Structures are given as C-alpha cells and as structure tokens.
Amino acid sequence: MKSTQDRATLSPTVSRIVDVIDQRIRDGSYAVGEWLPTERALAEEFEVSRMLIRSAIKELERLELISCASHRRPTVLQRRLPVVRHASPVSRNVAMWVCPAPSWPATAMTMRGVQQVLTDNWRLVVGSPTGDTKQQRIDSELRFLRQIQRDRDVDGLIIEYLGGQLNLPILEELRESDLKMVFIGHEPPDGFPAHHVGVDDRRSIERAVKQLLRIGHSTIGYVSNFDEVSTVANRLAGYQKALRQAGLECHPDLIARDPGPPGDDDLEGCERLVEQLMCGPNPPTAIVTVNDVVAFRVLHALKARSIRVPQDVSLIGFDGIERWSQSERFLTTSEQPFQEMGTVAAELLFEAIEHEGDHPPKHILLDAPLRVFSSIRAISGD
C-alpha cells in the first residue's frame, strides 16, 4: 500500500476532515507541539468511522502538519499559512439511480443528502426509470447500469434497485469491475450481499398498527401494492407481526393490493379494493397503507363511497410526503428521513471507495417516526 496519496484521490469525507483540522492548526486551536484529540474523539465529532480518521491523519502527516509515531497520538508540527485550495483538474463521478424521478420531492431530498457529502471535484450522475410498464422500467434500469459499466470515470453507485433477479447479472459484472455500490431504500437482491441504507420498515409499520390498537381499533386493514421490492414485503410483515403480538388473527380479507393507476388519477382499481374491504363481513375501522401515495388513493376512494376519514375509518400512510405541501398536514404517516438516508449512503460509499478490497457489507436502518395528524381517531369510547 502506498504511504502517500494524491489529495485528489481522497474521499470527500476525508478531505473535509483534513480541511477542518488544517484550519484548526492554522488558527492556533491545535497549538504546535500539542497532541491531536484521540481517534475515538475525532470519530465521534465528525460522525465517521475510525478508519476514515486514520486516512485523514495519514494525509495530515503527508502534508507535514503533524508527526506520527507508534503508540502515541499525533502531535502538531506547524501552523499553516492561509490555505490555498488544491484545485484538481480531475473530475470524479458518483452515479445514482433514483425512483420514481429526480423531481419527486422525496427523491430530491435524498439527492440533496448525497450532494452535501460531495466536494468540488465530484459530480453526481443521476438516472431514473422510464416507460409505462414494470418491465419497461426494469429495462431502463438495465440500460443505465450498462452505461455505468462502460463509463470508467464512475467510482461508485448509489442505487434504489428495482430489477430483482432480472438485473442481477449486471450487478455481478459491476462488482467484478470493482465498482463500489450502496443500495438505498430497497435491499439488494437475494444472493448479492452489499451495503444498504434504508429505514426499519417492519418496526415502523408495527408502531403504526400498535398506535391504532392503543386507541381502540382491533379490526385493521392493510393496503399494499404490487411492487416486488423489499420495502413492500417488509411493511406487510410488520403489519402481520403487530397483529399477532396483539393476539389478533391476520384475516386475508383485510389485506388488499392497490394495482396502481393505469392512467393519471385513475382510481378504478382502488375503488374496487375499497369496496372489497368495506363491504366484507367484518369491515375495518382503520386502514394502514404501504405508502402515502396509496393512502391518498384509498382516501379518495373512501370519499367516493361517502366513507369519512377519520370519523368512519382511520387511515395511516408511509413516507411523509405532505411535509412538502403548502396545505395543512392531514395524513398520519411514518416519516422517512430521506435527506439523512442520502447523506449516510454517500458517507458509506466513500468509505468503501477510500478503503480498497472487499469488506463485510453494512446494513444501516434509520428510524421512520410516526407523525400523528388528523386522519386517525380513537374509538374506545364508542
């Protein structure tokens, strides 16, 4: 391994740490002859791994700002003159595959989180699905990954994966080419261990169901969709687990799948499933949905049948998309931390780029807290 490295090859995270410590040496916060803080303290301050702190220390030693010796902390050697940034003509790229589109508010926040980690000599190359059918969207993902495979200027990939087992071969080829990858939101496909950043979908849905149980609901429906991704399966599993823990049976007639709109604002499929749920022998007093988009489709379908939310049925979504609306929030929902997900994914990616070789994959699950608004009500006193 090389004992020195070009500053342009450092990850954005390590460069940021070096710049901060450099500034502290120049302004006297770290005086000549003093020890630097411990690796542990620096890792906690910058909220990174100790491996990244060690990389920053190596760079500071290369710049002759500190002196390192075995079994003792680094000491400050000198104060720098006012810094002149090392402008590099080398531009490096991170690719990002996002769903459904960069203009979607949640996606835009995730991208913002990634961009907060990038420094000036890094660019973000973004792709998103095209086409009207599921297969067309998966095919567009394959084309994007093929482009990344041909582009030797791409150092890493953050991917909200859609392709299941269909696009697994291209993922294997990208790994063989030593492209670093982090899956965001959706888990990697079975048989492909890789870094992943998401939210704890099961726990979040369990929390939503338990909230309804606490306020008196015992007949709780669930509306999912037909997306074959981990988030959909995990949220359904969370709903089922919460009911089992409460000693309640998971009735199949209380679970439905929204087929999605065949055209813009088309509620025909959703109206049929709402009729199926509400006209059964034991209609639900509350409905939990796989995401906010499905929740609002269910809401409109309920209104079309003169069923009021929350007076007649309580309703809970997942994502928190109303936070970007100009109107007052109505829907109770598990709120995903999209920007934080982007930041954590980018940090994890650059850690992988910084440290060559294969390392055990990390799975980081963030919390999606339940935000309670006026779409649910207690029925315990009814």
Is the pLDDT confidence value at 267 over 80?
A: no
Angle at the Cα of 187 from the Cα atoms of 186 and 193, rounded to 5 degrees? 155
Q: Mention the CATH class of domain 201-336.
A: alpha beta
- pLDDT for residue 90: 58
Across the chain, mean pLDDT equals 88
pLDDT tens per residue, range 113-169: 999 999 878 899 999 999 888 899 999 999 999 999 888 789 999 999 999 999 999
What pLDDT sits at residue 357?
A: 65
Write the pLDDT tens digit of every residue in 6-15.
444 567 788 7
Instruction: Calculate what percentage of the chain has a pLDDT beyond 90.
Output: 61
CB 74 within 8 A of CB 36: yes
Q: What is the pLDDT of residue 82?
A: 42
Residue 183 pLDDT > 70: yes
Mean pLDDT within 232-259: 95
Topology match between the domains 92-198+339-366 and 201-336: yes
Per-residue pLDDT at 191 exceeds 80? yes
Which pair of tokens denotes residue 160? 């909200």
Q: pLDDT exceeding 70 applies to what percent of the chain?
A: 90
Q: Is the predicted pLDDT of residue 237 greater than 80, yes or no?
A: yes
pLDDT at residue 55, as a whole number: 87
Across the chain, the runs of DSSP E, i.e. the strands, are 66-69, 72-76, 92-97, 122-127, 154-159, 180-184, 195-199, 220-225, 255-258, 286-289, 314-319, 332-335, 363-366, 370-371
- For the chain, the domains span 7-76, 92-198+339-366, 201-336
- Taking the CA atoms of 129, 188, 363 and 119 in sequence, report the sign of the dihedral they define: negative
| Per-residue pLDDT reduced to its tens digit, 60-112 | 888 888 888 776 788 888 554 443 323 344 568 999 999 999 999 999 999 99
For 7-76, which CATH class? mainly alpha
* Fold (CATH) for 92-198+339-366: Rossmann fold (3.40.50)
Report the C-alpha gap between 129 and 134 in whole angstroms.
10
- What is the C-alpha to C-alpha distance for residues 347 and 13, in angstroms, rounded to an integer? 7
